Structure 1
Amino acid sequence: MFRTSLSPEALRGALSRLRSGHPAFDRAGARGAAAARQPVHTVYGGAHLFKADTARKLGAVALAALAEHAPDFAAFARALGLPGADELPEGRAEAAALAAALDAGEAPAGRASAPARLARAVHARVLDKLGREPVEDLRIDFEDGYGVRPGHEEDAHAAAAAREVALGMAAGGLPPFLGIRVKSLGEACAERSLRTLDIFLTTLVAASGGALPPAFAVTLPKVVAPEQVSALADALDALERALGLPGGAIRIELMVETTASLFGPRGEIALPGLVEAARGRCVAAHFGAYDYTASCDITAAHQHLAHPACDFARHVMQVALAGSGLWLSDGASNILPVAPHRARPGGAPLTPQQMDDNRRAVVGAWRLKYGHVRRALEGGYYQGWDLHPAELPARYAAVYAFFLEGVDATAERLRSFIERAARATVAGTVFDDAATGQGLLNFFLRAVSAGAMTEAEAAERTGLAPDELRDRSFQAIVARRSA
């Protein structure tokens, strides 16, 4: 028996406060945690260009860019600046021989061994991804990627894009995630925005026999007030009733593109209020770097994803939405991998200098993109924007390299930690306490979600059973093993 000083009444009084102290996100707002897989990117393309097979065509363009400017795994590693890439062979024949040896399980000797294995693994995964599922999330854009057009023209494009979505649904050719970005609900274009939404959804439901694509979302740009989010939620409520769709079927993504999206007029953090205004529909918050930096009066020459103002905004988003289950997405790189010279049909071929200019432009943009994606991943942003199909090789390479580089050390730490039943441990020179366990497990959960490794590979690396990985809880794994 142990003596205590709190009476049952005093204990009940203290505990009663906990029941009223849950965050607002427990009551309303987020649905992001409902789906385990978060797409690693969102590709934005003008609504007037969308076709049922757009994703497949984007993959073909990405593969062509890879074949032209980085025709083997060693060239791709050098283009991106992967660790140890300078030690890899430069000749095509030598690179092919090394790739064959690696595929056969024959690791090269010397310092080039680890860089070669990483470069080959990344390249193979990128090629497979671009051929199998080149786009994970696609947004049919009626805003910046579309522009301001006559009303009858936007009406026609909204209906045409919806019919193409229905064709893609029937053919099974759509990406796993799909949606549209409407214009903002600012005073100037609110009516146009909701009309486009109405035409698109009405046409889609009629053409598809009453179905929506899985995980369909409407992206709302330039949000500055909760009333704009509420207006969109009201419109979706009415559309779902009119079209016979289940209530809440259509998800909302918020774009953080202005300082007003982050802070209210009295200095309070605005994001939780914006999420609550969505009444349970909100699944994601996407950062728009260029509108945001412009709203901070930063000149165009200095508007980029690595600007300190963007770091601040992204971190405020993380802090404000921590624990909400919302997916966070970084913005787009501002330099695209577009070759400056193009050969015209029937015209003169490109000169060696022009071909070299093209390669330098594409590789330079790839390396910039790779750096932006790596920086986002290190900061806890696992999704970002892509605006051009030739960006896809760098996007996937950055994601895969991020996880594959750290897999051995992280797996060793996780295995050691679980074996010691979550007591504080020292693995090598790294101190781990109980708060680290979930972070170590999350590394593998994210790697599987991003396609950097399969569930079976993660289980083999960590020594965990597949059902333990699916629990997604370090605490549950330890409790089960302790029992």
Structure 2
Amino acid sequence: MKFSIDEQAKSELMDSLKTANLKFQAVYPGDKPDRQPVHTLYGGANLFSSDSIVKIGSAALKSFHTYAPNFVALAKVLKLEGFEHLPDTLNDIEWLGNYLANASADERKNHPGWLSYNVYQKITKKLETEAVEDFRIDFEDGFGNRPDDEEDATAVHAAKELAEGMRNGTISPFIGIRIKPFTEDLKFRGIRTLDLFLTTLLAETGGKLPDHFIVMLPKVTIPEQVTTLVRFFEIIEKTNGLPHGTLKMETMVEATQIVMDDEGRNPLMRIVRASEGRLLAAHFGTYDYTASCGITAKYQTMAHSVCDFAHHVTKVALSHTGIFISDGATNVMPIGPHRGDNLTFEQLEENKAVVHNGWRIGFNHTMHSLVNGLYQGWDLNPAQLPMRYAATYNFFLSSYDDALYRLKVFVERAAISTLTHDIFDDAATGQGLLNFFLKALNCGAITEEEALATGLTLDEIRSRSFYKILQGRRAAAKA
């Protein structure tokens, strides 16, 4: 058998390609297996206290049960799959709930009320146990521009409250602070607040930060703003004895210049590089971005086409880098106009209509984000949390059976290709299905048992690499 290239020349070519391939892989290592919160709740720093997260959860649960007293009510408001087949009377609803709670897996699966019942139960449990996944103590839009002495005092107070929450175990799994942007007019205020907050927090906790603590730098337009924050992080770490790289950040995509710069390029990767490995996420700012596009206030919504454009450009720029991407917020609050304990029937009905309308808007916005591959978004009020989880659980549970069947088929085909030494050439689709199950598992939409029904182990699912799963199974078959 003759070849046109000798072994030495071939080896030199492959070594050259290896260098380029490894450089590419360093830039695009793939999605992280880490848990990504499904939302970030923003709250004004002046209102933050050590038990804010607990109070927010209670308020969210009360709102949910007030305006959706049972799973049928929720299904009919949101028109969840099968809602038209559900009963209207309370007795029939109660009977159906008891039936679904005690039915076999096959009976549940084939009943038109199972999806809405399952979604409702998961929302209730989530609001009772972990209503807030991620929280930002906000010194920007949620706080406003105030006198320096007032913001100084708030920064110190909020840091002490966070330290107290850490001691009491009353903070969210992910938490952080949003400072003012590093624009020319606000850069000193942003640094001053962050310095006061971190210095106070570390003094109160003996040099400890909360788990998954992050600093949000808003309105980033140039890499130098990120570089400045990184240099400040280094000073804080050195001064307080923290290991280098401890402090992490996220940025906001909320100006047209972060989507396209003055040379017609997308600058997001330059901003990622400027963070020197500290940037974990990019969050979309719906209302600043639409305003920067000249959209008037009435039409500044997440459903606007300019938002979809920004989302897609951001995903193209950051896909496979390991940077989490978050959508923005719905600005319609599901809060009734009438308050008090002695409301008339008409006032109660008006409250319900307003809340249900807000629910539908929030639910549809979140579903739109999920369909477009954005698995995180903002919330601005406790009353929005039920629909965040309603959309998330509906998205995953309504697709579970189909995704389960398809992934099982892929796993079986991979096993056959392993035994017959054929090439399994559709791993990209398998990877997409694998990502679906990992995200569904991480957000609590499905249980570990439901994930194992795929035929994969939890370690294989969490490896987040269908290619590595195939390699592992081929290696095991040969052994």
Among 88, 96, 99, the residue aligned to 2:94: 96
CA deviation after TM superposition for structure 1 residue 247, in Å: 1.1
Name 2:78's counterpart in structure 1.
80
Name 1:372's counterpart in structure 2.
365
Secondary structure (helix, strand or coil) at the match of 1:394 reads helix
| Counterpart Cα distance in 1 of 2:409 and 2:151 | 59
Would you say how many aligned residue pairs link Structure 1 and Structure 2? 467
Name 1:474's counterpart in structure 2.
466
Secondary structure (helix, strand or coil) at the match of 1:339 reads coil
User: Are residue 158 (structure 1) and residue 155 (structure 2) matched?
Assistant: yes
Residues 213 and 107 of structure 1, relative CA distance in 2, 3 Å threshold = closer
AA partner of residue 11 (structure 2): R
Residues 338 and 257 of structure 1, relative CA distance in 2, 3 Å threshold = same
CA deviation after TM superposition for structure 1 residue 31, in Å: 11
CA deviation after TM superposition for structure 1 residue 56, in Å: 1.1
Q: What does 1:18-33 align with in structure 2 at a 5 Å threshold?
A: 18-20=18-20, 22=22, 26=26, 33=32
| Residues 232-282 of structure 1: per-residue CA shift (max 9 Å, x gap) | 111111111111111111111010000111122101110000111111100
| Residues 270-304 of structure 1: per-residue CA shift (max 9 Å, x gap) | 00001111111000000001111111111111111
| Residues 327-386 of structure 1: per-residue CA shift (max 9 Å, x gap) | 000000121111111126xxxx21211111111111111111111111111111110000
CA deviation after TM superposition for structure 1 residue 32, in Å: 7.8
With the length of structure 2 as denominator, give the TM-score of the two structures: 0.93
Q: What does 1:401-480 align with in structure 2 at a 5 Å threshold?
A: 401-421=394-414, 433-459=426-452, 461-480=453-472
| Counterpart Cα distance in 1 of 2:37 and 2:99 | 33
Contact 2:119–2:390 (8 Å) recurs in 1: yes
Contact 2:51–2:170 (8 Å) recurs in 1: yes
User: Are residue 394 (structure 1) and residue 391 (structure 2) matched?
Assistant: no
| Counterpart Cα distance in 1 of 2:242 and 2:415 | 47
| Residues 406-442 of structure 1: per-residue CA shift (max 9 Å, x gap) | 1111111111111111789xxxxxxx93321111111
Residues 108 and 458 of structure 1, relative CA distance in 2, 3 Å threshold = closer
| Residues 171-196 of structure 1: per-residue CA shift (max 9 Å, x gap) | 11111100000000001111011000
Name 2:9's counterpart in structure 1.
10
Name 1:360's counterpart in structure 2.
353
CA deviation after TM superposition for structure 1 residue 22, in Å: 4.8
CA deviation after TM superposition for structure 1 residue 478, in Å: 2.6
Q: 441-450 vs 470-479, which deviates more?
A: 470-479
| Counterpart Cα distance in 2 of 1:266 and 1:159 | 42
Q: What does 1:61-460 align with in structure 2 at a 5 Å threshold?
A: 61-105=59-103, 113-343=110-340, 349-421=342-414, 433-459=426-452
AA partner of residue 449 (structure 1): N
Among 43, 46, 49, the residue aligned to 1:45: 43
Secondary structure (helix, strand or coil) at the match of 2:131 reads coil
Contact 2:29–2:320 (8 Å) recurs in 1: no
| Residues 17-60 of structure 1: per-residue CA shift (max 9 Å, x gap) | 44135557826x99983x61000000000000111111111111
| Counterpart Cα distance in 1 of 2:257 and 2:211 | 31
Residues 31 and 388 of structure 1, relative CA distance in 2, 3 Å threshold = farther
| Counterpart Cα distance in 1 of 2:25 and 2:392 | 29
Contact 2:30–2:320 (8 Å) recurs in 1: no
| Counterpart Cα distance in 2 of 1:447 and 1:403 | 6
Contact 2:31–2:464 (8 Å) recurs in 1: no
Q: 170-179 vs 12-21, which deviates more?
A: 12-21
AA partner of residue 171 (structure 1): N
Name 2:420's counterpart in structure 1.
none
AA partner of residue 89 (structure 2): G
AA partner of residue 477 (structure 1): I
Residues 25 and 247 of structure 1, relative CA distance in 2, 3 Å threshold = farther
| Counterpart Cα distance in 2 of 1:179 and 1:6 | 57
Q: 43-52 vs 464-473, which deviates more?
A: 464-473
AA partner of residue 450 (structure 1): C
Residues 32 and 405 of structure 1, relative CA distance in 2, 3 Å threshold = closer
| Counterpart Cα distance in 2 of 1:77 and 1:55 | 28
Residues 210 and 108 of structure 1, relative CA distance in 2, 3 Å threshold = closer
CA deviation after TM superposition for structure 1 residue 475, in Å: 2.2
CA deviation after TM superposition for structure 1 residue 89, in Å: 1.7
Contact 2:327–2:378 (8 Å) recurs in 1: yes
With the length of structure 1 as denominator, give the TM-score of the two structures: 0.92
Identity %: 47
CA deviation after TM superposition for structure 1 residue 319, in Å: 0.5
Contact 2:139–2:178 (8 Å) recurs in 1: yes
Contact 1:32–1:284 (8 Å) recurs in 2: no
| Counterpart Cα distance in 2 of 1:55 and 1:74 | 29
| Counterpart Cα distance in 1 of 2:49 and 2:365 | 29
| Residues 425-472 of structure 1: per-residue CA shift (max 9 Å, x gap) | xxxxxxx9332111111111110011101222210x212223322332
Residues 265 and 422 of structure 1, relative CA distance in 2, 3 Å threshold = farther
| Counterpart Cα distance in 2 of 1:201 and 1:92 | 53
| Counterpart Cα distance in 2 of 1:480 and 1:263 | 42
Q: 10-19 vs 231-240, which deviates more?
A: 10-19
| Residues 84-134 of structure 1: per-residue CA shift (max 9 Å, x gap) | 213212223321211110010168989x95431001110000000000011
| Counterpart Cα distance in 1 of 2:104 and 2:79 | 24
| Residues 135-192 of structure 1: per-residue CA shift (max 9 Å, x gap) | 1000000000000111010001101110111011111111110000000000111101
| Counterpart Cα distance in 1 of 2:379 and 2:236 | 30
